[in-house]
């Protein structure tokens, strides 16, 4: 544990907030704790600020306008896989709120010199299985075929027959123990069945998606302390589901199906059948979430909000690093204002941060 990293965080915390403890005193406490235990413990205020700033520093996220309202669930006393799983379930309930989604993070025990913290192996709390079929195809989400195999090897009883939207179990290890699997109870996973405002046949395809994107494999790094399990969620942008998850060739690859039902001429790329089917897919997603009363942003509004955020950051005297290729939506890029400019280059050493798994 490097005192300099702790001090750098403390400097930022004191510069941006008004803590009641004197800076010198808090720094002395931290130094003392590091000398005697090899690490130190954030106050709840430090943890909350650190998690929010880690979001603010996430160069790939277009939704950062709301960084300062992130709800932080302090579960640093939770280390056992079964308890971590139970708290993830509670996280989903509290973040979902029947559809009025709240940006939430749950922070579990940090890594300590003598004891690594627990780890969630899923990349999100809710994901759909990709079942390998005897004919070599995958039923479900192609991206999760390996993870699904892994879960089965750990003892997961997959539904029989395997479906296209089977929610994967949580795979969690505690410190240095072997991973264990935990099924998510159905009432913790809100899902939206898809329909289209004009095309009734779309509902017959029996497509659906889960309401809450909750990333669970990015360690949270604050002032030299690493929290390996700190799942966090926001709410979806329609394009993430409608233009990527259901559409990417290695995911659900649905454009040929949609195009056929729309009666489009697929004989040549130049008919733009893919583009036309894509827009209808995004419309269906947006429409269905609206009908279900589940929070979802659209790429036009969210792009404008992001530029508001960049301007606010600049007037607060801060840089707002952003990764253009992640910020620009995967449809109609040039129609959104985020397309028409460049951003400050992200610096991989910036902290607090969510780290790459």
Cβ partners under 8 Å of residue 55, min gap 6: 61, 64, 67, 70, 103, 232, 354
Sign of CA dihedral 238, 243, 245, 246: positive
Nearest CA-CA partner of 227 in 93, 121, 353: 353
CA distance 148 to 143: 9
Question: Torsion angle of alpha carbons 333, 334, 339, 341, nearest 10°?
Answer: 170
In terms of CB distance, is 169 or 238 closer to ligand ARG? 238
The yes-or-no answer on residue 240 being catalytic is: yes
Q: Which one among 128, 236, 289, 306 touches ligand ARG, defined by CB under 6 A?
A: 236
Nearest CA-CA partner of 222 in 32, 22, 74: 74
Contact in structure between 119 and 80 (CB atoms under 8 Å): no
CA distance 149 to 130: 9
Contact in structure between 165 and 144 (CB atoms under 8 Å): no
Residue 108 binds to ligand ARG (criterion: CB under 6 A): no
The site map against ligand ARG for 58-97 (x = CB under 6 A) is: -----x----------------------------------
The yes-or-no answer on residue 64 being catalytic is: yes
CA distance 270 to 342: 31
Q: What burial class does residue 90 get, using C-beta atoms within 10 Å of its C-beta: 0-12 exposed, 13-18 middle, 19+ buried?
A: middle
Least separation in angstroms between CB 8 and ligand ARG? 27
In terms of CB distance, is 62 or 307 closer to ligand ARG? 62
Residue 180 binds to ligand ARG (criterion: CB under 6 A): no
Name the segment binding ligand ARG (CB under 6 A); options: 66-74, 196-204, 236-244, 347-355. Answer: 236-244
The yes-or-no answer on residue 191 being catalytic is: no
Least separation in angstroms between CB 168 and ligand ARG? 13
Cβ partners under 8 Å of residue 255, min gap 6: 247, 273, 274, 277, 278, 281
Q: Which one among 166, 240, 280, 313 touches ligand ARG, defined by CB under 6 A?
A: 240
Nearest CA-CA partner of 84 in 115, 67, 109: 109
Q: Which one among 58, 104, 122, 245 touches ligand ARG, defined by CB under 6 A?
A: 245
For 247, how many CA atoms within 13 A lie in the half-sphere containing its CB? 23
In terms of CB distance, is 110 or 234 closer to ligand ARG? 234
Identify the bridge partners of residue 297 per DSSP, sorted by sequence position.
237
The yes-or-no answer on residue 156 being catalytic is: no
In terms of CB distance, is 30 or 237 closer to ligand ARG? 237
CA distance 174 to 119: 6
Least separation in angstroms between CB 62 and ligand ARG? 8
In terms of CB distance, is 195 or 245 closer to ligand ARG? 245
Residue 234 binds to ligand ARG (criterion: CB under 6 A): yes
Among 235, 273, 313, 351, the active-site one is 235
Name the segment binding ligand ARG (CB under 6 A); options: 186-194, 229-237, 314-322, 334-342. Answer: 229-237
Nearest CA-CA partner of 49 in 352, 339, 355: 352
Q: Which one among 6, 101, 237, 243 touches ligand ARG, defined by CB under 6 A?
A: 237
Among 26, 46, 56, 61, the active-site one is 61
Least separation in angstroms between CB 37 and ligand ARG? 35
Contact in structure between 219 and 227 (CB atoms under 8 Å): yes
Number of residues that bind ligand ARG (CB under 6 A): 10
In terms of CB distance, is 78 or 105 closer to ligand ARG? 105
In terms of CB distance, is 141 or 313 closer to ligand ARG? 141
Residue 213 binds to ligand ARG (criterion: CB under 6 A): yes
Residue 295 binds to ligand ARG (criterion: CB under 6 A): no
The residues of the shown chain that bind ligand ARG, judged by CB under 6 A, are 63, 124, 213, 215, 234-237, 240, 245
Q: Catalytic amino acids? A: 61, 64, 235, 240
């Amino acid at each position: 544990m490097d005192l300099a990293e702790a001090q750098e965080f403390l400097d930022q915390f004191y510069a941006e907030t008004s803590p009641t403890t004197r800076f010198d005193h808090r720094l002395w406490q931290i130094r003392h704790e590091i000398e005697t235990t090899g690490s130190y413990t954030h106050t709840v205020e430090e943890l909350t600020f650190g998690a929010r700033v880690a979001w603010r520093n996430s160069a790939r996220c277009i939704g950062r306008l709301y960084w300062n309202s992130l709800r932080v669930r302090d579960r640093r006393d939770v280390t056992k896989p079964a308890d971590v799983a139970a708290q993830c379930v509670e996280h989903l309930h509290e973040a979902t709120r029947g559809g009025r989604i709240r940006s939430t993070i749950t922070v579990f025990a940090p890594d300590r010199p003598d004891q690594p913290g627990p780890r969630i192996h899923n990349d999100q709390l809710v994901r759909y299985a990709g079942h390998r079929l005897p004919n070599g195809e995958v039923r479900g989400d192609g991206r999760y075929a390996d993870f699904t195999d892994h879960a089965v090897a750990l003892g997961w009883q997959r539904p029989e027959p395997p479906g296209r939207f089977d929610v994967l179990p949580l795979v969690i290890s505690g410190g240095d123990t072997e991973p264990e699997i935990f099924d998510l109870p159905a009432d913790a996973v809100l899902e939206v069945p898809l329909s289209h405002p004009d095309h009734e046949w779309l509902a017959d395809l029996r497509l659906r998606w889960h309401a809450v994107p909750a990333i669970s494999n990015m360690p949270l790094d604050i002032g030299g302390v690493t929290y390996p399990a700190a799942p966090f969620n926001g709410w979806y942008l329609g394009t993430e589901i409608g233009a990527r998850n259901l559409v990417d060739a290695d995911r659900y690859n649905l454009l040929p199906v949609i195009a056929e039902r729309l009666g489009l001429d697929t004989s040549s790329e130049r008919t733009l059948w893919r583009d036309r089917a894509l827009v209808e897919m995004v419309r269906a997603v947006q429409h269905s979430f609206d009908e279900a009363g589940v929070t979802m942003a659209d790429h036009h509004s969210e792009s404008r909000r992001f530029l508001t955020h960049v301007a606010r950051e600049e007037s607060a005297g801060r840089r707002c690093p952003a990764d253009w290729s992640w910020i620009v939506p995967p449809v109609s890029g040039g129609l959104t204002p985020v397309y028409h400019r460049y951003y400050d280059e992200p610096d991989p050493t910036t902290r607090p941060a969510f780290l790459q798994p």
